[in-house]
Amino acid sequence: MAEPGLLVALPLAACLAAVFLGRRGALLVWVTGPLMLVLTWQLARAIPVVEPLGGWAPPLGIALRADGFAAAFLVMTALVAAVVGAYAATYFAADPRPRRAAAFWPLFYAVWTAVNLILLGRDLFNLYVGLELLTLAGVAMVALDGRAATLAAALRYLLFALFGSVTFLIGAALLYGRYATLDMELLAVALAPDTATVAAAALISVGLLAKAAIFPFHAWLPPAHAGAPAPASALLSALVVKASVLILFRLWFDVLPPLAGALLNALMGGLGAMAVLYGSVQAIRQDRLKPIVAYSTVAQLGYLLLAFPLAGAALGAQPWSAGAWTGAVFHALSHGLAKAAMFLAAGTIMLAAGTDRLDRLGGVAKAVPVASFAFVIAAVSLMGLPPSGGFLAKYLLLTYAFAAQQAGWAAVMVVGGLLAAVYLARPVNALMRAAPAEGARFARVPAVLQLAPLLLALAAMLLGILSFEPYRLIQVNNPAAAHEGLQ
Amino acid sequence: MTATLVYGLAGSVLVGVGLYGFAVRRHLLRQILAFNIIGSGLFLLFGALARRTPDGTSDPVPQAMIITGIVVAFAATALAEALAERYQELTGRTALEEDSKPAPPDEQESELRG
Amino acid sequence: MNAWLPVLTLLTSLVPALVIFRIPEDRRTPRAVVNLAGAGAKLALVALMLAGVARGEVYETRLVLMPELYLLLRVDALCLLFLTLSAFLWLLTTVYAMGYFGHAPNQSRFFGFFSLCVAATTGVALSGTLITFFIFYEFLTLSTWPLVTHKGDEKSISAGRTYLAYTLGGSALLLVGMVWLEGLTGPIEFAVRDQLLEVEPATLTAIFALLVAGLGVKAALVPLHGWLPAAMVAPAPVSALLHAVAVVKAGAFGIIRVVYDVYGFDLVQALGVGLPLMAVASVTILYGSMRALFQIDLKKRLAYSTVSQVSYIVLGAALAGPAATVGGLVHLVHQGVMKITMFFCAGALAERMGITRVDQLDGAGRAMPLTMGAFSVAALGMIGVPPLAGFVSKWQLGLGALQAGETWVIFVLAGSSVLNAAYFLPLVYRAWFLPPAAEAEPGREAVAMLVWPAVVTAAAVLLMGLFAGFALSPLSWAELIVARVYGG
């Protein structure tokens, strides 16, 4: 049984159930987590799969399609969501604010539904609906704390996201007016590089960049992701922003290659490079744990865009013809796992220490050793050090950059990796400091809150070692532009 | 000048007005309203697109999109209103501050839990 | 079975590491048992493979990451040279560390990371492809860092920061070199000929510089050596590990791999990159010795001595003739054994009599005859006094320099030996021939676990020199490597 529709329907049903269950909604995750893992796993073994919803074929109906790209992210999403769910069930169990705990669960499932829908959908309007669901649930998650600062962060996020929605929708309208369909496969066949199409592509891309917090639309992300409760931050950073980037990939590599060219590549690569450098420098300037992790998301998303100029630039020089594209996909997968692990670990550390100020974290490694260890392992993956998934991703992107004789992009990645080492060494140093700060006392935390981040961090690590199966999976039905590039 | 063109132009004007308001206004309510104006404009555009079939019948797909879009816009507006209202209650402000630094965490959180 | 041996060798350190992390702090006996069992098992496996490789067998294990890209663990003669050294010294250092830390806190963390380090070093030795090497090399960087910062005070953390800054910087250079090369040629396997033929010579030269600079950070080539003296704040067993078992050795070993197994002797000659490398190594040898001369702090003096001595290995690789190669390879072992003896002794002196400075050594020989005896043997070996191990290395290197027609290298070696004598002999003299300072308490030997490892390694220094001609001595093994792999 590998029906893509079920992967959307099941979390949606859980979302509705959670509305009525309130705080008891926490129990649902023990069913949905394992079930979704099994279902996504089965789908990954059955791809490629196409399911026209209700039996109506496009353009009238909407089809869900699962290729390797989708399946890989579906499995990653299921893993992250299941572990974050287990973490959240414990995290909110002792919450003195019952409404916050009750409100989390419907939002959690809404995010899960939306991400799965985005991964499987191939209709631009369908994707728009998924994006909106994702945004609204994400914004509400940021606002869960209800403090003025987080409300401001949520509002800022919402305004950026609404701007993105609007431009996306204008672009979609233009495309519909031009081609009378929004189905990606049909669009790809009919596509002509005329003014209306170019304008639509630009509008949609800008919308997606805004929602993905890609530089220069990044301003909303750090306060939002740093201010949300830890499980929410993990979902937001690992899945929510990434979903928009994945649509961007889908769009350009599957549908719009005829429009692409040197200008697009330079633009995307430039934005990516700016994001890497700006996000890293900002992360170095923070003095609290969660903002560092949040700015690191800004930086890490930048790497994904480097696949635009690199893809196809070294055709034939490598044993892997889709090297840069595959590298970006690996980067997104391992970043999802590692970043979720890092936010969960940061949440546990905050619970234990009562603060996330770096200068107050001395001795915390003794109070929560496993969570601290998980933080370090996640940091290793984010820095792109071996043997993590992050390393393999960087290896692919870097060898490709040199093979394509585009050493400039390689320099960005190497500098970004060094900056990541700087901004992550600071919190790791703070954790390792043996002497506790004056007056510091540490609370005991349940074991689940330590083990959950470790599990995800180890998964990020294993992605770099047991990479053969993921690699094969990703290559199933990959787009031609992944090989030939966007030239 | 056909009816379709009128609808299309009107929709475009609305989108333009809305975008202007969204970009220029700082008051949260005005920004939310601007977003709704853009939305209305877009729905008009989609409606106009539905009429452009060669045989003059209307295309059902854009109409389905309009309905979905209205629901989405309504949900977004409701959420934004709720957030803005609560924000105004807590801070007395009706616009976001320019500076967007990450806020310090709730330092009492772990103590609340005992 | 043959395919499992390399993995098992890796696991003999990796599994103890993971187990030790979980052992509660106060359970000293189980921790010791796990540690020693791992070290013992590793030695047994190494002995098994030594016999096999001497017969001409090759053991390898592959893990495919992607089509054409795989991790390869392969046991060849060169690998075993390094592996045997690290397995032997791991056992001794573990015993020593148990004695050194006694009832100090955080031991599970220490021994856990310590075993991880050894696992990483084992991986470096076993690597059969460039990417495998890089992975374990980085793994080594990361697992050593908690050891450098082990004490957790501001000084250690700051030394750790210096260590990370240097080594991660080096890694970045190595990474760029690796991906640049592999971007042009596809994944590189060691000892496969003609992989680099299609690359421009100028590009190859640039990549060679990047690779050697990256590895040179760990091998402490001047001017990339700054982290080594800074890391001296770490406890004595860690210094032993950094200087003899793992870190600097990994760097030197990497340079050997690059010169012989990535580029190959012929290409190195054709590109003309041997001479600059020789020059860098020579400068390092002399500079390290000069700096050592002026260090009052005992451990700092030893640190600068390491800077100097490790470059003998690099020099041997750069000279690239048969005799020089033998000299470089054999020094990899000899330097490790000699230097670890000195660090064992320095730790014992500091623990027992609070001696950290050179001028405090007066009369130490009378108080701690075994310790200072071992120290003296190692010091004389470093200077190159026959028939000790260091003499064999220097002899071979000199011979190699003559073979390669680089007569000036003889002067470097001679000059360095004079300097070695100048900074080590005063220590020996003070310990044995000067009376103890009046206010000093009469000391006596430290506990057996601190003394005997040093005595064992000192005996090895003597034996490796005396019996250099016997089969399975480091010298014979180095000759075997050269004869087998590099075709003499």
Percent of chain A past pLDDT 70, that is, above it, reads 99
Asked if C248 and C242 count as a contact pair (C-beta separation under 8 A), the reply is yes
Give the gap in angstroms from C-alpha C173 to the nearest C-alpha of chain A. 9
3-state helix, strand, coil in chain C (%, to 5): 75, 5, 20
Per-residue pLDDT tens digits for C198-235? 888 999 999 999 999 999 999 989 888 888 888 888 88
| pLDDT at residue A449, as a whole number | 93
pLDDT score, position A315: 66
What's the number of domains chain A is made of? Answer: 1
pLDDT at A39: 94
* Whether the Cβ atoms of residue C122 and residue C86 lie closer than 8 Å to each other: yes
- Counting as contact any 3 or more CB pairs under 8 A, the partners of B are A
pLDDT at B113: 42
Residue A55's contacts (CB-CB under 8 Å, 6 or more residues apart) are A61
**Domain boundaries in chain C?**
273-488
CA distance C31 to C156: 25
Per-residue pLDDT at C91 exceeds 70: yes
User: A227 — contact with chain B (CB < 8 Å)?
Assistant: yes
CB contact under 8 A, C68 and A319: yes
Degrees (nearest 5) of the Cα angle A476, A479, A484?
A: 120
- Write down the pLDDT at residue C53: 87
Instruction: Give the residue from chain A lying closest to B35, CA to CA.
Output: A162
Per CB-CB distance under 8 Å, the chain B contacts of A279 are: none
Tell me the mean pLDDT in the region C111-123. Answer: 92
Please name the member of B52, B91, B111 whose beta carbon is closest to the beta carbon of A148. B91
Residue C445: strand, helix, or coil = coil
Residue A438 Cα, gap to closest chain C Cα (Å): 15
What CA–CA distances, in Å, run from C284 to C240, C289, C291, C304? 21, 8, 10, 10
Calpha distance B93→B104 (Å, rounded): 19
Q: Is the peptide bond before C237 cis (omega within 30 degrees of 0)?
A: no
The band of B107, judged by pLDDT with boundaries at 50, 70 and 90, is very low
Checking if the pLDDT of C355 tops 90, the result is no
Is B3-95 CATH 1.10.290.10?
no
Report the pLDDT value the prediction gives residue C488, as an integer from 0 to 100.
Answer: 41
Average pLDDT over residues C316-339: 90
B35 shares contact with chain A (CB less than 8 Å): yes
Could you give the CA distance from residue A156 to residue A136 in angstroms, rounded to a whole number?
Answer: 12
- Say yes or no: B84 contacts chain A, CB-CB below 8 A: yes
Q: Return the pLDDT at B112.
A: 39
Over residues C359-384, mean pLDDT: 89
- Per-residue pLDDT of B85-101, as tens digits, reads 999 999 888 888 776 66
Q: Would an 8 Å CB–CB cutoff place A60 in contact with chain B?
A: yes
Q: In b/e form, how buried is each residue of B16-28, taking b as 16+ CB within 10 angstroms? A: eebbebbeeeeeb
* Distance from the Cα of residue C408 to its chain's centroid: 26
Contact C176 A414 (CB under 8 A): yes
Q: Cβ contacts (< 8 Å) between B86 and chain A: which residues?
A: 143, 146, 151
Q: CB B104 to CB A152 under 8 A? A: no
**Per-residue pLDDT tens over the stretch A273-317:** 999 999 999 999 999 999 999 999 999 999 999 999 988 777 666
The confidence band for A2, taking pLDDT boundaries of 50, 70 and 90, is low
The C-alpha atoms of residue C373 and residue C432 are separated, in whole angstroms, by: 9
* Facing residue for C153 by CB, picked from A387, A434, A467: A434
Residues C228 and C242: beta-carbon distance below 8 Å: yes
Looking up tokens 């997968």 gives: A333
Q: What is the model's pLDDT at position C85?
A: 92
Closest Cα in chain B, distance from residue A252 (Å): 23
ipTM rounded to 2 decimals: 0.88
Touch A-B: 3+ C-beta pairs under 8 A: yes
Residue B53 predicted with pLDDT over 70: no
A103-141 per-position pLDDT tens digit:
999 999 999 999 999 999 999 989 999 999 999 999 999
Say how far apart CA C180 and CA A39 lie, in whole Å. Answer: 41
pLDDT digits (tens, 9 = 90+) for C404-440: 888 899 999 999 999 999 999 999 999 898 888 766 6
The neighbour count for residue C15, using CB atoms within 10 Å, is 17
Alpha-carbon gap: C57 to the closest alpha carbon of chain A (Å): 27
pLDDT at residue number C339: 92
Alpha carbon distances (Å) from A276 to A216, A289, A343, A431: 12, 19, 19, 25
Q: Does residue A365 sit within a domain?
A: yes
pLDDT at A146 over 80: yes
Cα separation, C465 vs B95, in Å, equals: 82
Of A85-89, B46-50, C412-416, least confident by mean pLDDT is: B46-50
Q: Which residue of B has its CA nearest to A135?
A: B76
pLDDT of residue C441: 63
CA distance C64 to chain A (A): 6
Nearest Cα residue to C358 out of C374, C342, C378: C342
Q: For A162, which of B35, B49, B84 is closest by C-beta distance?
A: B35
Report yes or no: C430 and C355 within 8 Å, Cβ to Cβ.
no
The whole-number pLDDT of residue A235 equals: 96
Task: For residue C38, name the pLDDT band (cuts at 50, 70, 90).
Answer: very high
Partner C contacted by A436 (CB < 8 A): no
- Taking 90 as the threshold, does the pLDDT of residue A348 lie above it? yes
Does B47 lie at the interface with A, CB-CB under 8 angstroms? no
**Could you tell me if residue A222 is inside a domain?**
no
**Looking at CA atoms only, how far is residue A418 from chain B in angstroms?**
24
Q: What is the mean pLDDT of residues B64-72?
A: 87
Q: How confident is the model at residue B110 (pLDDT cuts 50, 70, 90)?
A: very low
A288 interface with B at CB cutoff 8 Å: yes
Nearest CA in chain A to C156: A433
Question: By percentage, how much of chain C surpasses pLDDT 70?
Answer: 98
Lowest mean per-residue pLDDT among A284-288, B35-39, C12-16, C439-443: C439-443
Searching chain C, which residue's CA lies closest to the CA of residue A313? C183
Would you call C164 and A421 a contact, using CB atoms and an 8 Å cutoff?
Answer: yes
Q: Is the pLDDT of residue B108 over 60?
A: no
Predicted local distance difference test score (pLDDT) of residue C438:
64
Do C184 and A402 make contact, defined as CB atoms within 8 angstroms? Answer: yes
Reference B48, options B71, B73, B66, B69; nearest CA is B66
**pLDDT value, residue A19:** 92
Q: Select, from the ranges A263-267, A342-346, B56-60, C31-35, the one with the highest average predicted confidence (pLDDT).
A: A342-346
Q: Any CB–CB contact under 8 A between C176 and chain A?
A: yes
Residues recorded for chain B: 114
Q: Contacts of residue C187 in chain A, CB cutoff 8 Å?
A: 319
Amino acid C43: pLDDT: 93
pLDDT tens-place string over residues A203-252: 999 999 999 999 889 899 999 999 999 999 999 999 999 999 999 999 99
Q: Which residue has the higher pLDDT, A2 or C193?
A: C193
Q: What is the mean pLDDT of residues C136-145?
A: 90
- Alpha-carbon distance A297 to A292, whole Å? 9
Q: Which of chain B's residues have a Cβ under 8 Å away from the Cβ of A169?
A: 42, 69
B and C touch with 3+ CB pairs <8 Å, answer no
